[in-house]
Every structure is written in C-alpha cells, then in structure tokens.
Amino acid sequence: MPANRPLSLITGASAGIGTAFARRLAVLGHDLVLTARRVDRLEALAAELREKHGVSVMVLPNDLANPGAPQALCDALRQHDLQVDWLINNAGYGVPGSFLANDWKAHADFLQVLLTAPTELAWRLLPGMRKRGYGRIINVASLAGHVPGPAGHTLYAASKAYLIKFSQSLALENREAGVNVCALCPGFTWSEFHDVTGTRDKMNQMPGFMWLSAEQVVRQGIDAVERGQAVYIPGRVNRAIKTIVQLMPDRLAMWLSARESKRYRNADE
C-alpha cells in the first residue's frame, strides 16, 4: 500500500455504482478524483465526502465520449502531481433500440466511453502503478458479458464481454508487479441506468431477489480485487445464472435470451 492515503480515480462518479464506489473508498481512507459530465452532482458528492471522512477530493468534469478525454484527465493529474493507485473504470450507459435504429454517432460515442476510454486510462496509468509496485484496477463490466447478447442494446453485452477478457489479460500481465485487475460483473443493480434507458416500469416487474444495491456490488468488488480475482460476479443468483447458461447448448441459451429480453425491452425498440 502507498505510505500515504491511496488515491482513487473514479469515472462515472456522479450516480449509481460510481457514487457508491466514491463513498466506500472514502470510508476506507482513500483520497479521490471524481469525473463525470454532471458537475453539480460531482461537487455535491465531493463536499459530502470531505465533510464526512476528511479525505481530499478533486473534481475533474469530463465527457469520455470525447476522444481526447482520457489524455486530458491524465494531464490534469500530472499537473497536480497526483499518482493514481486505484482506477475504477465505471462510466457507462445503454443505447436503447436495435443496431440500425440509432445513428452512427450514438454508437461511436458509446464505443468510446465503454471500450476506448477505459482501455486508454489503464494504458496511461498502469506504468506508474507498476513502477510503484502497487495498483488496483476495477473495470465495471456486467453479467451481460457472460450470457448471449439480446436483441436491442446491441453493443452493450459485447462491450462488457470485451472488458471481461481485457481484465483477464491485464490481471495475468500485472499481478507479479503488484497490480490487481478485476472485471466486476453485476447483474440487475438499483441505479439510474434503467431510468435513463426508459425501461424502469418494465424492470420493476422483475422479482426482488434478482436485484442488488450499488453498495453491495461495490463492497464485493473491492473485496474481489483485493483477493486478486480477475473476474467477479456479485450475488449468488447472478453466479448461478452464469453457470446455467454456460452448461446450456448455445441454441437453447440464445432462445432463452430472446424470450427473456422481450420482457424488459420497450416494444418500439
């Protein structure tokens, strides 16, 4: 561990799992750098954490859909002589509808935020972690990356599957250097995600045992990366789903995915 308080950079920190990470890491004594688009939320969260936990919190608002955003974030960290010990690649969202129902700009922005930005941030921050002999990277993936991709939200499961494989490779490459990497793969989580995609009413029909709170996801994710687990699925129900799907013939798994996805997609997608 660093001699002083570790410093954590959290993307998508303004809501949901990102906010839960900020609160939990502050409890654990981390100084924080928070980034997202919504400055007012970031500033309010930063003020809360400074007052409650006495940690240093820097707000660096940025839009990761901008290809220059990862470098700009790292340049700002360098200007303030800050070294990141924990990278939480959490920023993400869903693009509702079928692949051709959206214009290419929507898909390009999504791929930049979900794939390119977390990959570039890891590439830029890993050398410092390796040099210091300590680091933690959590890539927030999803249970969706372990099961067949549904119709609608076409790129979401694909992007999460990428983060899982990326994390596995990074974990193998860096564990001997003192850097643990984990793909955190939550299932249904109470957050703003389904409000933004307009599917909240349908998602509320899902049974309660299918859901975890953002705080539960975060606590389990932090424990998993500290244990050195390259991939972690929080929740026994979610782990059971992954196991069952893996044991099914592909055609049956695809059929079930198609049937179940209709339950929580909007009809006009």
> Which pairs count as long-range contacts for 263-268, CB under 8 Å and 24+ apart, including other chains?
263/202, 263/205, 264/199, 264/202, 264/203, 264/205, 264/206, 265/96, 265/150, 265/151, 265/152, 265/153, 265/199, 265/202, 266/96, 266/198, 266/199, 266/202
**Distances, alpha carbon 155 to alpha carbons 52, 97, 165, 173, 237, in Å:** 39, 10, 16, 27, 24
Centre a 10 Å sphere on the Cβ of residue 22 and count the other Cβ atoms it contains: 28
Six-digit token string for 244:
């069952």
The phi, psi pair for 86, rounded to 5°, reads -120, 125
Six-digit token string for 160:
């999460």
Q: What's the DSSP call for residue 131?
A: H
The phi, psi pair for 189, rounded to 5°, reads -130, 135
- The C-alpha atoms of residue 47 and residue 245 are separated, in whole angstroms, by 44
Q: Answer yes or no: 162 catalytic.
A: no
User: Which residue in 156, 162, 232, 264 is the catalytic one?
Assistant: 156
Q: What's the DSSP call for residue 147?
A: S
Active site residues: 156
